């Protein structure tokens, strides 16, 4: 029996008197993909930001076990230590690739940056790693010196994924990774993500409002409404046999083509 | 003596600058804020360097001022004239005779000594400024020693130009900690920054920052393992003194593409010609080091 990768206990974030998310407790195991679904304003992005350390939570605990088996409490760490942990163990995929990429820097520089941040100082090796990751995310090798602003939306998102994964993170946070893309591009991206997650044995927390995304990617699911987790369980179980009224509404709202 | 306090600035201001200097020397490469004063010359003319020089000067000092290596250009002449008037200190054009050298964009070719102070005029002290415009962010990056952006920039240079194209103000890392802008000196001068016997002080007047390299500080130019830092200069000897080890300026001599390369360090070039060295285009040598320059 392995030990949990990430544990949260009563995680709460308030914006003044309003609730961002409240009392969220869950356990993420190595190699597991957790989906978080809910409508806009249900607190799923707030929860993800708290988990990734972008926002300080008001109450509750986060425990993370790193690749050396050491347990960290990101909330009580110094900023330098937390950023080092995030750099070495985590990755974050933003909904808008503009937030996760440097738009003025070439694709190769974007992929190389996390490597250089960890002390890689060999240009040839960085270049080689960038080329191999471009190939893995299905971007032509000869685009390596083009800036992301010359890329289409789907390519930008794939580039962002390459940049996130180049450092072999153990845990990936994804905020609506397929948002804003048209359906055929979404399908390719989902295919790619599923392949990468399975191949690399990644753990991931994926926030989305798109039930198809979690159906394809997530092992387990949490449904959020008004800042609270209203239902959680195995993805197929939650989607095929929703118990909570809100989940039933959510599942029945999906258009059938 | 003139109607001004010694070295123009009032004593309280000099104390304030000296406190900033002490802090800067204690934390090599760290940019110390200071309350920069209005000086009787425009920003960009070396107001930061002038204030640092004023705070360091004592009546026994001998001052040399360099502008792009030369002692006889506008900036150097006016600053030297300024201190000759408000501090009544001796001035010189010879590096070996100077106790304080204020410089813009060059380090003298003649090796410096422990009893000398080199004061740099700095236009933009923040090495990350053109990579990250927000001061709050650059301060955080310095605090956490997160300097990856600098290497991203070098990577982009190699990807685009096949080599690191940055040829001046080449970023350095001081004692393995702070990344520092060495002011716009050519990268040819970068190796002279490290392990230097003289005290090196940097003043940025408009940006209100002072930083320093104490004597014998470890200074590394940033690079990649497979694209190591190279101190480059035109591949020519000086046309006047024949020196092949000094940094050269390119001088266009007519409108038909003729040019000559001469030492940018005028003192070094003159000393070599005085010692009998001759370049290809040298005229007979006349020593003008002690001639009265226009003030």
pLDDT digits (tens, 9 = 90+) for A59-87: 999 999 998 989 999 988 998 999 999 99
Residue A2's pLDDT band, with cuts at 50, 70 and 90, is confident
Q: Do A124 and B226 touch (CB under 8 A)?
A: yes
Residue B293's pLDDT band, with cuts at 50, 70 and 90, is low
* pLDDT of res. B294: 54
Does the pLDDT at position B291 exceed 70?
no
CB contact, 8 Å: B165 with chain A? no
CB contact, 8 Å: B226 with chain A? yes
Residue B295's pLDDT band, with cuts at 50, 70 and 90, is low
Is residue A228 in a domain?
yes
Is residue A181 in a domain?
yes
Residue B99's pLDDT band, with cuts at 50, 70 and 90, is very high
Does the pLDDT at position A255 exceed 80?
no
Report the domain count for chain A: 1
Is residue A33 in a domain?
yes
| Segments forming the whole domain that contains residue A237 | 6-101+174-252
Q: Do B152 and A145 touch (CB under 8 A)?
A: no
CB contact, 8 Å: B235 with chain A? no
Q: What are phi and psi of A177, to 5 degrees?
A: -65, -20
Q: Under 8 Å CB-to-CB from B262, ≥6 apart: which residues?
A: B238, B239, B240, B248, B249, B251, B269, B279
Question: Which of A121, A144, A145 shows the shortest C-beta gap to B225?
Answer: A121
Across the range A111-123, mean pLDDT stands at 95
Question: Which of B146, B148, B225 shows the shortest C-beta gap to A122?
Answer: B225
A105 vs B131: CA distance, rounded Å: 10
Across the range B73-83, mean pLDDT stands at 93
Q: Under 8 Å CB-to-CB from A123, ≥6 apart: which residues?
A: B155, B158, B224, B225, B226, B227
**Would strands A228-234 and A71-72 be described as parallel, antiparallel, or unpaired?**
unpaired
* pLDDT of res. A166: 94
Chain B closest-CA separation from residue A129 CA (Å) = 13
Is residue A22 in a domain?
yes
Q: What is the CATH number of the domain that holds A69?
A: 3.40.50.300
Q: Which residues of B touch A108 (CB under 8 A)?
A: 155, 159
Is residue A129 in a domain?
no
Across the range B187-209, mean pLDDT stands at 97
Dig out the tokens for B264 from the structure: 């940018």
Is residue A28 in a domain?
yes
CB contact, 8 Å: B275 with chain A? no
Is residue A67 in a domain?
yes
pLDDT digits (tens, 9 = 90+) for A179-199: 878 888 888 888 888 888 888
Contact A221, A50 (CB under 8 A): no
ipTM of the complex: 0.88
Angular region, A43: left φ>0, alpha ψ -120 to 50, beta rest: left
Is residue A107 in a domain?
no
């Amino acid at each position: 029996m392995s030990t949990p990768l990430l544990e949260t206990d009563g995680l709460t974030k308030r914006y003044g008197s309003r609730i961002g998310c409240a009392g969220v407790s869950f356990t993420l195991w190595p190699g597991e993909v957790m989906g978080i679904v809910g409508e806009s304003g249900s607190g799923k992005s707030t929860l993800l930001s708290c988990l990734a350390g972008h926002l300080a939570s008001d109450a509750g605990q986060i425990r993370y076990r790193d690749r050396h088996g050491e347990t960290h409490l990101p909330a009580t760490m110094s900023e330098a230590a937390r950023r080092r942990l995030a750099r070495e163990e985590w990755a974050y995929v933003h909904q808008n690739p503009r937030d996760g990429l440097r738009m003025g820097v070439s694709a190769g520089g974007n992929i190389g940056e996390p490597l250089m941040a960890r002390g890689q100082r060999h240009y040839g090796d960085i270049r080689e790693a960038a080329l191999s990751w471009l190939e893995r995310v299905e971007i032509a090798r000869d685009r390596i010196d083009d800036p992301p602003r010359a890329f289409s939306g789907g390519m930008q998102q794939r580039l962002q994924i390459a940049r996130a994964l180049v450092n072999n993170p153990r845990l990936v946070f994804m905020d609506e990774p397929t948002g804003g893309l048209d359906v055929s591009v979404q399908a390719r991206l989902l295919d790619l993500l599923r392949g990468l997650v399975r191949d690399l044995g990644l753990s991931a927390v994926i926030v989305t409002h798109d039930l198809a995304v979690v159906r394809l990617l997530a092992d387990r699911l949490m449904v959020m409404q008004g800042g609270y987790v209203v239902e959680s369980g195995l993805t197929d179980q939650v989607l095929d046999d929703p118990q909570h009224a809100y989940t039933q509404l959510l599942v029945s709202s999906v258009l059938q083509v | 003596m003139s109607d001004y306090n010694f070295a123009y600035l009032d004593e309280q201001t000099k104390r304030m600058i000296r406190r900033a200097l002490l802090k800067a020397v204690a934390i090599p490469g760290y940019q110390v804020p200071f309350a920069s004063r209005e000086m009787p010359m425009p920003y960009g003319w070396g107001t930061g360097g002038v204030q640092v020089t004023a705070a360091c000067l004592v009546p026994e000092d001998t001052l040399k001022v360099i502008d792009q290596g030369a002692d006889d250009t506008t900036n150097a002449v006016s600053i030297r004239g300024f201190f000759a008037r408000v501090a009544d200190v001796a001035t010189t054009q010879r590096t070996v005779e100077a106790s304080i050298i204020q410089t813009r964009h060059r380090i003298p070719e003649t090796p410096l000594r422990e009893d000398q102070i080199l004061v740099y005029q700095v236009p933009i002290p923040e090495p990350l400024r053109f990579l990250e415009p927000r001061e709050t962010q650059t301060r955080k990056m310095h605090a956490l020693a997160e300097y990856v952006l600098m290497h991203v920039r070098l990577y982009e240079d190699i990807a685009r130009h096949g080599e690191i194209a940055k040829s001046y103000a080449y970023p350095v890392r001081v004692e393995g900690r702070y990344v520092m802008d060495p002011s716009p000196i050519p990268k040819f001068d970068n190796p002279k920054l490290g392990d230097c016997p003289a005290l090196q002080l940097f003043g940025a007047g408009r940006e209100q920052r002072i930083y320093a390299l104490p004597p014998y500080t470890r200074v590394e130019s940033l690079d990649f393992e497979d694209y190591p830092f190279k101190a480059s200069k035109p591949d020519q000897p000086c046309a006047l003194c024949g020196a092949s080890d000094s940094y050269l300026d390119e001088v266009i001599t007519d409108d038909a593409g003729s040019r000559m390369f001469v030492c940018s360090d005028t003192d070094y070039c003159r000393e070599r010609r005085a010692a009998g060295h001759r370049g290809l285009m040298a005229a007979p040598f006349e020593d003008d080091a002690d001639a009265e320059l226009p003030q």
